[in-house]
Amino acid sequence: MKFNKKSPWILHYDGSSCNGCDIEVLACLTPLFDVERFGAINTGNPKHADILLITGSINEQNVSVVQQLYEQMPHPKAVVAVGACACTGGIFKECYNVLGGAQAAIPVDIFVAGCAARPEAIIDGVVKALDKLK
Amino acid sequence: MTWVLSVLQVLGILIFVPIIGGLLTGVDRIISARMQSRKGPPLLQPFYDVFKLLKKEATTVNHATGYFVTGSVLFNILTVVLFCMGVDLLLCIFAFTLGCVLFVLAGYSSHSPYSFVGSERELIQIMCYEPMILIMAFGYYRVVESFNVGDAFTQNAPAIVKLPLIFLGLVYVLTIKLRKSPFDLSMSHHGHQEIVKGITTELTGTSLALLEISHWFETVFALGLVYLFFVYSAPFSWAVAAAICLVVFFLEIIIDNGFARVKWKFALTSSWIVIIVTGGANLMYLSLF
């Protein structure tokens, strides 16, 4: 039995976005969606996390922050880019200080499309990311 | 042959206590979720978490941390083993305190400001509950006329009859030991960020798993103290005492969900006021009558 699939602890980081995806990530914790059904916890501590959820685009200022968070997470770990901005840079792509999506900083395992991404899609992305935890 | 029996008894304690503690934590998480009108995790979720953490990569800032955490866990296990074997209550309390102090040192050894804050808050928490546990031991001695845990089973009446106020005081400080809001200052068991996670901030993998197991033992010991108040020579009292332990645990879950985290000054002053009023009045009553 693979226990790491039954207990995904999530770290959520917002790059630079309109906060729409962040609100949807938090919506996953509410009674309507309740990700704790799958044992998922929003940890807020990279050292306890299994899955890094990134919303928003990566810019010159936060690229080092995202890389550090990723390095602090112990193996096995997976990265989920949530929303158009985290996937490609989205509407902010042409901005002078934006480098692009989450992949500009760290390797991404799962891309969740949407603007904003729906809670169902985010949960689906997390569940798919569990297969990447080895 | 008696030593064979003792070894079997210890093995039984080492196997069943973590199972009971883990199941209690699982029930806690489900009830908490239902109180927030969520479905909540599976009953066995705490075990899944621990098995996952055991398999995760361990990143240690300072190797001493691992030794302190292991020491803390071993002394917590020793506490429960001594308690279940029915030996001296004071010995259990001292072993328990040593486990707590090693846990504080684990926080200090990791050189993280968040762990430092956690360790300092844990020391304050020890100040909050330790006097009450000692007063409970004194009260227990006055009633049972022995510090032995096993002698509670030979009494004609449960200790609660003569120690009602000490029991109330103990339930107040148990909130601290069960790491429930409003007193989960040094280390919350909910998903949280650095300050609230306190001592565990820098712990990963095996250390975190051991700490979780240690908390299961702590929970069982805390409820064991409640059990001592209600048990006496009549066999049915064993079941009644166990039921009351579950009621107290449920009450703690309600308190956990109903109150916001307080500041350390309130935790300290309120618990000392409760200790002085309940413990003092009850000990005075015992010495007068």
Chain segment A5-32, per-residue pLDDT in tens: 888 899 999 888 788 888 998 898 888 8
Mean pLDDT calculated for residue range A86-109:
89
The whole-angstrom distance between residue A21's C-alpha and the CA centroid of its chain comes to 10
B56 vs A contacts (CB less than 8 Å): 4, 50, 74-76
For chain B, the domain total comes to 1
Contact B59 A47 (CB under 8 A): yes
Q: Specify if B119 maps to a domain.
A: yes
Q: Does A44 touch chain B (CB under 8 A)?
A: yes
> What is the model's pLDDT at position B192?
67
Q: What pLDDT sits at residue B28?
A: 92
Could you tell me the residue ranges of all domains in chain A?
3-130
Q: Give the chain B residue nearest A31 (alpha carbons).
A: B38
> Block means of pLDDT (10 residues each) for chain B, length 289 residues?
86 92 93 90 92 87 88 93 90 93 90 87 91 92 88 86 91 88 76 73 86 91 92 89 93 89 89 93 88
**Domain membership flag for residue B276:** yes
Q: What is the pLDDT of residues B148-179, one digit of tens each?
A: 888 888 888 888 888 999 999 999 999 888 88
Cα B205 to Cα A38, B66, B76, B158, B265, distances in angstroms: 20, 11, 19, 43, 33
Output the pLDDT for position A16: 83
Query: Distance from A86 to chain B by nearest Cα, in Å?
Result: 23
Residue B19, domain member (yes or no): no
Domain span at B267? 54-288
Helix (H, G, I), strand (E, B) or coil at A35: helix
Report pLDDT digits (tens) over A79-96.
999 999 999 988 888 889
* pTM of the shown model: 0.91
- Specify the higher pLDDT residue, B25 or A3: B25
pLDDT digits (tens, 9 = 90+) for A27-46: 988 888 888 888 888 888 88
How close, in Å, is residue A26 to chain B by CA atoms? 13
**With contacts defined as CB-CB under 8 Å, which chain B residues touch A31?**
36-38
**Nearest-CA distance from A9 to chain B in Å?**
9
> Chain B interface residues facing chain A, Cβ-Cβ under 8 Å?
29, 33, 36-42, 45, 48-49, 51-52, 55-59, 191-194, 197, 200-205, 208
| pLDDT at site A111 | 93
Residue A58 has pLDDT above 70, yes or no: yes
Selecting from B55, B193, B194 the residue whose C-beta is nearest the C-beta of A4 gives B55
- B152 contacts: CB under 8 Å, gap ≥ 6: B140, B144, B159, B228, B231, B232
**Which chain A residues are within 8 Å of B52, Cβ to Cβ?**
3-4, 6-7, 50
CA separation, residue B240 to residues B31, B130, B234, B236, B243 (Å): 22, 27, 10, 6, 5
Contacts of B179 (CB under 8 A, 6+ apart): B187, B188, B189, B215
Interchain pair B52, A4: CB under 8 A: yes
| A3-130 CATH pick, 3.40.190.10, 1.10.3720.10, 3.30.2130.10, 3.40.50.12280 | 3.40.50.12280
Chain A nearest CA to B37, separation (Å): 6
Structure confidence at residue B282 (pLDDT): 92
